[in-house]
Amino acid sequence: MLRWIRALRLIQTQDERMQAQTVLVLSIIAEFGPMRMSQVRDDAGISQASVSRNCAALGKIHRKGAPGLGLIKAEEDPMDRKHKIVSLTPKGEAFIDTLRDILEDRGERSDNEYH
């Protein structure tokens, strides 16, 4: 559980109120991307509107022009312009690498960190 706590703390550095659904979308893109947003929808089991909203939060521009987290990018699918392909940005790749280090216990930690 300590690894999970450390992972959640890292996630909070991006957005202290990030929802689990947003973490799920980011995780799917990190593991299986680049991929179409429709595939994220199918893999996550959520609506297309939810995928779009979460991708906006994770992308460059969130709702109402507010800045997003910049962890993913969405680009037009050159084979079918009505679809978007989502993938990690360099910032997203670095974030996921750090998250994997924590979850795979490759990072530094203090045994007394949570006592």
What are the angstrom distances between the C-alpha of 8 and each of 12, 17, 52?
6, 11, 23
Q: Can you give the pLDDT at residue 73?
A: 97
Domain boundaries, the chain: 20-92
β-sheet with 35-36: strand ranges across: 35-36, 84-88, 72-76
**Cα–Cα distance list, 70 to 4, 49, 67, 107, 108 (Å):** 23, 19, 8, 24, 26
Q: Which two tokens stand for residue 45?
A: 């089991």
Q: Does domain 20-92 have CATH number 3.40.50.1370?
A: no
Give the predicted TM-score (pTM) of the model.
Answer: 0.89
Task: Convert the pLDDT of each residue in 39-82 to its tens digit.
Answer: 999 999 999 999 999 999 999 998 788 899 999 999 999 999 99
